[in-house]
Structures are given as structure tokens and as C-alpha cells.
């Protein structure tokens, strides 16, 4: 279990945290948590404001995963919270012989997934993954598990541990100080479980998660 930023090649942008924090209401969060059209392709106050594929976002990141975990060309990879399949698309471009799978709570995301990977995706919940034990060489879950209530969050991490053959990577909404906590609370739309990084580490030990991890810190 290692704290490591495997998203360090993902492009960074300046987030209008204070501006959005003044505008977001609980009704916006309620709409976002439906993970439908308003979340992906609606207004910025309820989600992405348009969730579209661009190669600059994931191409270098999937190379980073392949290198770090020394994945074979035929490795099996699961993306928990795969959305429209952008990351799996770039994995397939990089590793055509790999076995891909993606799961997401959003039927809208499935219906609008990239055609190149749609056959590998299915609707489902992270708290109950529909795969046998030790099915995947790598399980990735980015900014997804924290969208569940605490007990279901623990269950999802146990599921990630169960279906992995040893390699997994998750990212969670978290903070290291009061200023980061304040920014996260302003920015957050969908997470139901968010904690100090030390609390997350304690939770990992409690439920037996042995994979790698990093944080989404609102900056």
C-alpha cells in the first residue's frame, strides 16, 4: 500500500473554487448525484459542463499506469467509475491486446460512451462488483468510491481488493489542513465521504485495502 500520485501527467487547470462555492446550492448537488445528462453535459454548477473526449487528458496517464505496474500487453484492467470510457479507450489504443472492463453507476454515461469501448462497459455499483475474485491485473478507481456513504465506501474498497490480483489504485476527496478542507467543501458536488488523509489511511487499514492511493485536493 503506497501513497503515490499516478495522475501527475494529467493536465492541471486553475479551478474557480471560490466563485463556484458562492453559487452552488444543495439542489445543484442533488442533481449532480443523479449522474445523468445534467452532470456530464449540463451546466457547470451541476457537473462537468460538457464531458468530451480529448487525447491530452488520459494518453500520458495510461502510459504512466502501464510503466508503474509493468503491465503485460495482454493485461486485464478494470476501471471502476469509468464514465464514458475515455481512459479505457486510451488503454486500448496503447495496449490493443489488453482485456478491458469498466463499470459505472450512470446509464447516461453508458449510452454516450465511446464506441471503441462500449462493449466492455456495464452499469453497476462499486459496492458490488460483478466479477470473480482476482479477475484483474490492475483495478483503477478515480474519484468514485467517495461518492458512496461511509459504510458503502468501505464495501466498495473491499470489492476492489477482492477482484484485484494485487495491483489497484484509488483516489479520494481529502484534505491535509483546514484551508484544503475549506476549498474541498466549496468545490464538492458528489462526494458523500470525504476526510483528512490520515483518516483515509486508517480506513484503508481497517478494511484491509492493500492497493495504492492518492488524493483529490481542491486547488
**Cα gap 69→138, rounded to integer Å:** 8
Residue 154 has pLDDT above 90, yes or no: yes
- Average pLDDT over all residues of the chain: 97
End-to-end alpha carbon distance in the chain: 25
Residue 90, Cα to own-chain centre: how many angstroms?
15
Locus of grid cell 467517495: 146
**Pick from 89, 130, 82: nearest CA to 110:** 82
Residue 194 has pLDDT above 90, yes or no: yes
Average pLDDT over residues 17-43: 95
Give pLDDT tens digits for 32-68: 999 999 999 999 999 999 999 999 999 999 999 999 9
Residue 219 has pLDDT above 90, yes or no: no
**Pick from 62, 58, 26: nearest CA to 189:** 26
Write out the three cell numbers for 114.
Answer: 465511446
SS3 call for 3: strand
How confident is the model at residue 13, as a pLDDT? 80
The CATH code for residues 17-216 is 3.40.50.150
Residue 76 β-bridge partners: 99
Say whether pTM exceeds 0.75. Answer: yes
Average pLDDT over residues 134-162: 98
**For the chain, domain boundaries:** 17-216
CA torsion sign, 41 to 29 to 111 to 150? positive
Amino acid at each position: 500500500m503506497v501513497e503515490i500520485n499516478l495522475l501527475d501527467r494529467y493536465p492541471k487547470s486553475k479551478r474557480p473554487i471560490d466563485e463556484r462555492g458562492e453559487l452552488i446550492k444543495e439542489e445543484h448537488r442533488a442533481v449532480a448525484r443523479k449522474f445523468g445528462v445534467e452532470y456530464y453535459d449540463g451546466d457547470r454548477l451541476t457537473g462537468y459542463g460538457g464531458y468530451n473526449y480529448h487525447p491530452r487528458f488520459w494518453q500520458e496517464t495510461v502510459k504512466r499506469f502501464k510503466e508503474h505496474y509493468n503491465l503485460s500487453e495482454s493485461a486485464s484492467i478494470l476501471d471502476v467509475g469509468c464514465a464514458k470510457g475515455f481512459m479505457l479507450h486510451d488503454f486500448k489504443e496503447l495496449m490493443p491486446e489488453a482485456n478491458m472492463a469498466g463499470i459505472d453507476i450512470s446509464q447516461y454515461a453508458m449510452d454516450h460512451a465511446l464506441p471503441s469501448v462500449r462493449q466492455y462497459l456495464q452499469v453497476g455499483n462499486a459496492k458490488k462488483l460483478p466479477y470473480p475474485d482476482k479477475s484483474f491485473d490492475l483495478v483503477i478507481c478515480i474519484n468514485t468510491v467517495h461518492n458512496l456513504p461511509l459504510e458503502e465506501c468501505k464495501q466498495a474498497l473491499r470489492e476492489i481488493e477482492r477482484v484485484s490480483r494485487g495491483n489497484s489504485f484509488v483516489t479520494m476527496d481529502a484534505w491535509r489542513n483546514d484551508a484544503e478542507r475549506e476549498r474541498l467543501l466549496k468545490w464538492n458536488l458528489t462526494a458523500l465521504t470525504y476526510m483528512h488523509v490520515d483518516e483515509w489511511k486508517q480506513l484503508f487499514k481497517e478494511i484491509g485495502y492493500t492497493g495504492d492511493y492518492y488524493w483529490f485536493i481542491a486547488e
